Structure 1
């Protein structure tokens, strides 16, 4: 169960070059402009209230390869954080690669700045003789409008962090944030389709609403997001809950790892996360693919995702799954292919995997029935929703589990779902 339409949207950037009527006029204009202030990095946002020590990500900043790119990043960070009106002007020699890589890094290191939600344009100034003078970056939204949305996002984040303060254990706090986020957001299929159309060049513009679906604002405030909105929101919550986290860019095999991969070229079509836990290892999470909130069974027992109308259908009763919660690098890489432009951690630790931490490892009938009885005790409508991990995989696993459930009684139908990536993570629904 996952969102088939996933699209990661890089901030829209228009590039152009400018040269003046004369060298003298251009140089004079450049000298009259003040130097843009640069933010101290990492920047800790005072607008987010938290009792934890923030672990602000600089993951993408640290991988910028030029000092010019780092200057663009720091200048735009200050400009956005201070909600500065007008455009940003930086003196010096900046390439198009410097600008695009810096804005991309900033977009994913600082989700609360909403810098993916509107287009940006960059003008390159030089003398008539071609000597570089500087760049001017303009944003299509006023500082006041950015400030309003940004503050709404920070207020919501602060509210969630206030509740998270009740979780002293780092793993429990991480799962609380994961479950809370997924429960409160719905996948925006319309925005995903619009983004796919842009990638495929069938249209050139996205509405502001569609752009916001790619941001933490869309996930946390609007409650509608696509994959990079989910990932950015989870990163933001974790960072200010004292958990180091970053958004991962890449692509996925839509067949859940059934043989081979899909060649997407350099196009990122998905986003997920890694977090660093108390053992120092990085674990990977995909909140988009663990969102089970819009999945139903029709009257034939068939799974239907995001139906136009759920009337007459049965809610599967588990809005959040954990099949992509705290996987190690080898596990997530079976159907998630990280962008090779960046270096992502490749830890193989398994200590903080969900099924191990929750005790939901099933290798025999007794273990399965113990988990099932616990789930039945908390069921409000008599149905039973259960997730677990087992070394039993393949076609015979379903029949084996069904035979084990027969001794428990009380159910006539079983629905089983598992990603076909060989990890043996199962979701079973009995009714």
Structure 2
């Protein structure tokens, strides 16, 4: 469906007609005077125009399930596609559905969400559909219009412009409508979900990617939209129930890149990424002011293209990996620090900062000798956070430092040595637009485990394991209840240790996933066999009949801790991983060669656990002390428990205390330096909640 801008209003204005337009849908026409043949002809033309308008401004949703229990607890209809971004969604209904809070819809009757997990609400209004007849009543789900100001500052002068972003359908082009009642108002046995895809006349930017710069700024890149005059970088931030300021334009550019460096503010101290905060009050402020209550901000980020003042649908950007973006320094370290006597030796090797998700995190501290200056009887030492723009100036008595050059060098060596290992490079999964589109038939899946929480992911996983370079998903991509292709692809990469796809690159043309494989077919098959042989040998030697699932987990953990070492040389090149170090992120690094980083530990644990008959998943996230990380969860009875083999490895002989510290624990038991947050890329969104430890 193609939205229209009502060009017929000018025609109707010349017909001496009175017109009432209700929410862009309902039209009532009243004719004055006698009706001649000419006026009848004009009325016919007007009716045709009205009918065309209603076709484009209204889409009816199905009320019967196509797939029952597609996602546990929910039925799904056939998706509705090609709906205009200004259109109403019509639902057959003989009941009322009053909306007191646009964010929540008609609670328990009709609700609208932006995500498959049904956790991110979309604000709507729900009204009686006045175009429907009394014998066939409908409700109209109406989108809310979006206008947002954009403020720029130059030479201490602020200038504001208004950005027309269309409606909330533009900002949420893939929505999920949940019907809890049948058309006659009776409760359904399970809620009915309809996925709706919206389109705008202006094409959305494609192949949008996000990354974090060496200075801790968000970097966005996207492909150019033909004839686009500008692009808006848009941040949706739901703060409570208020629609005001819920949409912010944080960037406006004619280029196809944007950096949050443009939001950096420096007065006495510098802050960065302030506009992208995901909580109203950060944890550090709460500690000092416990009367303040933190409220998580439901946030989404994306880019909107503008052609002839018409906004496109928003191309979304995943916040995965961006939650750790720094905002401000958090100077807690100086309580009791004996700077007056110990000088730089009293400075911490960790630089504490508050990130956009409100957490206090740490990174390696560093001092640039060229920035150190003397101010009377004190050295002014700018303590910087590695990977941020943040700086914390520290005044140190000159008398406490014998040799400032040697003191700075010693401090930097200590800080670098103490920086914690992590080793997860999310950018290893790349989706590009320029890969060759060579055809490839569907390949038979080798006899290795292929994991997927749903049919689409299992199919992709099987083809990755088989070494396919073109995976045709056209028969599954639009099936009700299945995740979108990118969501399923990421899950397939992370949850399949035999796929060896972490360094593959992908493009998607709408029906086929094209794969630029990191390894040749021969190398893939050779390494898969070595992994399978190693997994079988380890399980035969460590797992015995009569063992409980918990005993099996403990045995696999000890084997990996005893037999593997963390690959610090590989971790040192994480910013630009050469082919010779890729093994450290793949299953065979730890399992076959006995060395790797966290991703390899997690893959190896998963391969061994599956061989031993355990149900397990790889989890990815971010450490509070900085860096991406990977670990596992395993199912014991009816509960899931976390296992972090990497952090159980004591860097030496087996130690029962350190070797079991993070073994079969709840999520909340990761504390102190092990505190972490989970990303959502390791599992399809609709299934993430299934793996929470309880």
Q: Please name the residue that 2:641 is paired with.
A: 283
* RMSD of aligned residue pairs (Cα, Å): 3.6
Decide whether aligned partners of structure 1 residues 153 and 338 sit closer, same or farther in structure 2, where only a CA change above 3 A counts: same
Contact 1:164 1:241 in 2 (8 A): no
Residues of 2 paired with 1:104 and 1:209: CA distance?
A: 24
Q: Please name the residue that 2:678 is paired with.
A: 338
Decide whether aligned partners of structure 1 residues 105 and 288 sit closer, same or farther in structure 2, where only a CA change above 3 A counts: same
Q: Please name the residue that 1:163 is paired with.
A: 541
Residues of 1 paired with 2:511 and 2:605: CA distance?
A: 40
Q: Please name the residue that 1:310 is paired with.
A: none
Q: Please name the residue that 2:631 is paired with.
A: 272
Residues of 1 paired with 2:495 and 2:654: CA distance?
A: 35
Q: Secondary structure at the match of 2:632?
A: strand
Q: Residue 184 of structure 1: which of 539, 559, 563 is its match?
A: 563
Q: Please name the residue that 2:433 is paired with.
A: 16
Deviation at 1:248, TM superposition (A): 1.3
Contact 2:448 2:498 in 1 (8 A): no
Contact 1:292 1:321 in 2 (8 A): yes
Deviation at 1:111, TM superposition (A): 0.8
Decide whether aligned partners of structure 1 residues 8 and 175 sit closer, same or farther in structure 2, where only a CA change above 3 A counts: same
Decide whether aligned partners of structure 1 residues 167 and 194 sit closer, same or farther in structure 2, where only a CA change above 3 A counts: farther
Residues of 1 paired with 2:670 and 2:543: CA distance?
A: 29
Residues of 2 paired with 1:15 and 1:93: CA distance?
A: 22
Decide whether aligned partners of structure 1 residues 18 and 252 sit closer, same or farther in structure 2, where only a CA change above 3 A counts: closer
Provide TM-score, normalisation by structure 2: 0.34
How many pairs are equivalent? 264
Q: Please name the residue that 2:447 is paired with.
A: 46
Q: Please name the residue that 1:406 is paired with.
A: none
1:231-253 alpha-carbon deviations (Å, 9 max, x no partner): 11112211221111111111112
Residues of 2 paired with 1:18 and 1:230: CA distance?
A: 31
Q: Please name the residue that 1:210 is paired with.
A: 581
Report whether the alignment pairs 1:148 with 2:533: no
Decide whether aligned partners of structure 1 residues 319 and 120 sit closer, same or farther in structure 2, where only a CA change above 3 A counts: farther
Q: Secondary structure at the match of 2:432?
A: strand
Q: Please name the residue that 2:505 is paired with.
A: 120
Contact 2:471 2:512 in 1 (8 A): no
Residues of 2 paired with 1:282 and 1:5: CA distance?
A: 25
The within-5 A match list for 1:193-272 is 193-195=572-574, 197=575, 203=576, 206-254=577-625, 269-272=628-631
Decide whether aligned partners of structure 1 residues 331 and 2 sit closer, same or farther in structure 2, where only a CA change above 3 A counts: farther
Structure 1 unmatched runs, 5+: 20-28, 40-44, 49-55, 63-69, 125-131, 198-202, 255-261, 263-267, 295-314, 349-431
1:109-130 alpha-carbon deviations (Å, 9 max, x no partner): 21122111x3324263xxxxxx
Residues of 2 paired with 1:110 and 1:219: CA distance?
A: 15
Q: Secondary structure at the match of 1:111?
A: coil
Residues of 2 paired with 1:176 and 1:2: CA distance?
A: 30
Q: Which has the larger radius of gyration?
A: 2
Contact 2:440 2:471 in 1 (8 A): no
Structure 2 unmatched runs, 5+: 1-416, 682-687
Deviation at 1:345, TM superposition (A): 3.1
Residues of 1 paired with 2:497 and 2:506: CA distance?
A: 20
1:100-157 alpha-carbon deviations (Å, 9 max, x no partner): 43332112221122111x3324263xxxxxxx56443231321111001111111100
Residues of 2 paired with 1:283 and 1:2: CA distance?
A: 29
Greater relative contact order (CA < 8 Å, ≥ 6 in sequence): 1
Contact 1:2 1:288 in 2 (8 A): no
Residues of 2 paired with 1:34 and 1:316: CA distance?
A: 48
Residues of 2 paired with 1:18 and 1:292: CA distance?
A: 43
Decide whether aligned partners of structure 1 residues 216 and 17 sit closer, same or farther in structure 2, where only a CA change above 3 A counts: closer
Return the structure number with greater strand share. Answer: 2
Decide whether aligned partners of structure 1 residues 215 and 330 sit closer, same or farther in structure 2, where only a CA change above 3 A counts: same
Residues of 2 paired with 1:144 and 1:324: CA distance?
A: 37
Q: Secondary structure at the match of 1:209?
A: helix
Contact 1:38 1:75 in 2 (8 A): no
1:257-290 alpha-carbon deviations (Å, 9 max, x no partner): xxxxx6xxxxx70111111113x11111111111
Q: Please name the residue that 1:366 is paired with.
A: none
Provide TM-score, normalisation by structure 1: 0.53
Q: Please name the residue that 2:115 is paired with.
A: none
Q: Please name the residue that 2:423 is paired with.
A: 7
1:20-71 alpha-carbon deviations (Å, 9 max, x no partner): xxxxxxxxx99xx6763686xxxxx7358xxxxxxx753xx44xxxxxxx64
Which deviates more from structure 2 when the two are superposed, residues 134-143 or residues 230-239?
A: 134-143
Contact 1:219 1:225 in 2 (8 A): yes
Q: Please name the residue that 1:110 is paired with.
A: 496
Decide whether aligned partners of structure 1 residues 251 and 89 sit closer, same or farther in structure 2, where only a CA change above 3 A counts: same
Residues of 2 paired with 1:188 and 1:327: CA distance?
A: 25
Decide whether aligned partners of structure 1 residues 193 and 100 sit closer, same or farther in structure 2, where only a CA change above 3 A counts: farther
1:55-90 alpha-carbon deviations (Å, 9 max, x no partner): x753xx44xxxxxxx64x445423333345x54455
Q: Secondary structure at the match of 2:663?
A: coil
Residues of 2 paired with 1:325 and 1:3: CA distance?
A: 23
Contact 1:92 1:135 in 2 (8 A): no
Contact 1:36 1:90 in 2 (8 A): no
Residues of 2 paired with 1:87 and 1:34: CA distance?
A: 5
Report whether the alignment pairs 1:139 with 2:517: yes
Contact 2:539 2:612 in 1 (8 A): yes
Decide whether aligned partners of structure 1 residues 283 and 236 sit closer, same or farther in structure 2, where only a CA change above 3 A counts: same
Contact 2:435 2:507 in 1 (8 A): no
Residues of 2 paired with 1:247 and 1:3: CA distance?
A: 24
